[in-house]
Structure 1
């Protein structure tokens, strides 16, 4: 299964601890107390995990990944027998469960899971047959970022389809899923239809995206390139990730971040346990999961990320500024979230997107 490019592909992937090939059964037998977490580099900083490891009962090997599909491929190739915890996207858990790679998580053994925000308790994603296979772990939004000094007003999704005044200075990400979601939001297609659109609805989306293309400076792939385009003034408004907003503000630029009322694209990653983890290793892994949803880790993540946990465990200890950076100062924003799902006709979505780009 090929996954779309993940928003964090720009993160540098480095080797940590033992190489993946050395994490087989023999390697684990030699260090049975060592848990192996396959995750993103930015989530497993030593300082974040120091409190969990302080008593010395377990150690932790971090196996860093660069993309969701890399993680999935490693597990399918046999890595599930060598790893205790993984970090799949909330919308990707179904691929792992369909391949029999995960085990259901006993939430009674993860007390901090009771502190999940309501939207994460009730989501149908990450679950199968009434059981949880991926616990929402941390989350954020993909907003509109813009040069407030070069635009007249805060934009909404319509700027990418009707913003003739800014023609040639707009940017969208080169990603079929998000591009089509945004067009659907602009067109007013109900959220409960968004991932089940029929031919007529997809035809309207294609028409809108064709019109949009004429207004764009570029489709971006690299967040570093987008940041530079903002800095030079070549792009004044883009569908973006959050980092350029803070990066450019730190450089002294007057940046704005818009969260359209029509809907904001939210993302969330989970923690999930491979099927072969049993016994004492499973108990230790569940303790790690509980720590990752708890206050010590959450406070470190909020300040160092800045990213928000999917629980409220750390919230009381954060300043108003810190809450603002991770969007927890006003949790009503979650009411506008549109979570990514896997469209029933995703091949048709990709084909449509490729037609738009080739036009």
Structure 2
């Protein structure tokens, strides 16, 4: 963004024959610092960012991603030199750090980070050697969503593995990591052991997933497709993202959302700064990071998502109804969260998942 002020039309003839010396035009150029943010489209809406950009000293170029893998691939291919801020998953930050793509966060320049929820302050994810490389930015849960008008009561994880009552009307996401996590939760495998299961435990998981497959209507990939299956009644219960619950409730369907006591899968994306951003630009980047963790952005995100940011900065701005929608009215829900991690044997997990689907 360039602003140019020219002195023109300011010369008036004071009297006939009056002469002025040569006056050079007066120009001042204000150049805003352009920051490039690689992120999800739903996080960079214009009205979310308007309060930060109104000063005019920063402009923002948005580089939207479709998957975290795509973002990682772009940075590894050299994109880090042209990107100032990225949005990796909390469980993926370690890959970026291992590839030497990120720089640690300077918390002195991000005062709103002091308002991070305790769960995020305590987690080891996004950190290495005592330094934070990805600040938990926004988060939510992936619950069980169900047609309350077509089921007898609130389900738990066992509905996907036991009994025939809802056979052919259940759905599971086609994702090895989450699918195997859910089987482990059902089997009672401890959370601290879940991502380091041995052969015996993986064999138990496979047996449970084979039993599950017989009960499923489908493995879903598109949340839009799942929403349509709910609407038609072809699926009455699914491991899901939150949107179908609100979407179909708004259409008048009686929907339910279950958060099993055995554990709820939580998700979180972070804000991270690529290595190589420095000087005045780095200061502007941390200023943006601080805004993204602050009350103005948090309020917009809470209503527009609806999603919760990683800090409590916007809590006082939200009515109880909205707090409940983004799971911050009762923060004890975080006690049951199982955050996704990267299993050391993930290739074995993927192979197991594919074997089950092909059976």
TM over 0.5: yes
Give the distance between the partners of 2:77 and 2:218, measured in 1 at CA.
37
2:58 matches 1:58: yes
Report the number of matched residues.
Answer: 331
Give 1:6's aligned residue.
none
Give 2:155's aligned residue.
155
Q: CA deviation at 1:37?
A: 0.6
Tell me the SS of whatever aligns to 2:192.
Answer: helix
Larger Rg: 2
Q: CA deviation at 1:263?
A: 0.2
Give the distance between the partners of 2:295 and 2:241, measured in 1 at CA.
26
TM alignment of 1:1-359, pairs within 5 A: 33-359=33-359
Q: Would you identify which runs of 4 or more consecutive aligned residues in structure 1 move more than 4 Å?
A: none
Q: CA deviation at 1:225?
A: 0.8
TM-score (normalised: structure 1): 0.91
Q: CA deviation at 1:32?
A: 6.8
Give the distance between the partners of 1:218 and 1:300, measured in 2 at CA.
35
Tell me the SS of whatever aligns to 2:284.
Answer: helix
Q: CA deviation at 1:163?
A: 3.5
Tell me the SS of whatever aligns to 1:192.
Answer: coil
Give the distance between the partners of 2:228 and 2:76, measured in 1 at CA.
38
Q: CA deviation at 1:57?
A: 1.3
Give the distance between the partners of 2:277 and 2:151, measured in 1 at CA.
53
Deviations 1:96-118 (A, max 9, x none): 01111000111121100000000
More strand by share: 2
Give the distance between the partners of 1:121 and 1:108, measured in 2 at CA.
15
Give the distance between the partners of 1:73 and 1:276, measured in 2 at CA.
17
Query: Could you tell me whether the CA contact under 8 Å between 2:146 and 2:236 is conserved in 1?
Result: yes
Query: Could you tell me whether the CA contact under 8 Å between 2:32 and 2:58 is conserved in 1?
Result: no
Give the distance between the partners of 2:264 and 2:222, measured in 1 at CA.
21
Deviations 1:227-281 (A, max 9, x none): 1110011100000000000010011000000000000000000000000100000
Stretches of structure 2 lacking an aligned partner (at least 5 in a row)? 2-30
Give the distance between the partners of 2:163 and 2:81, measured in 1 at CA.
52
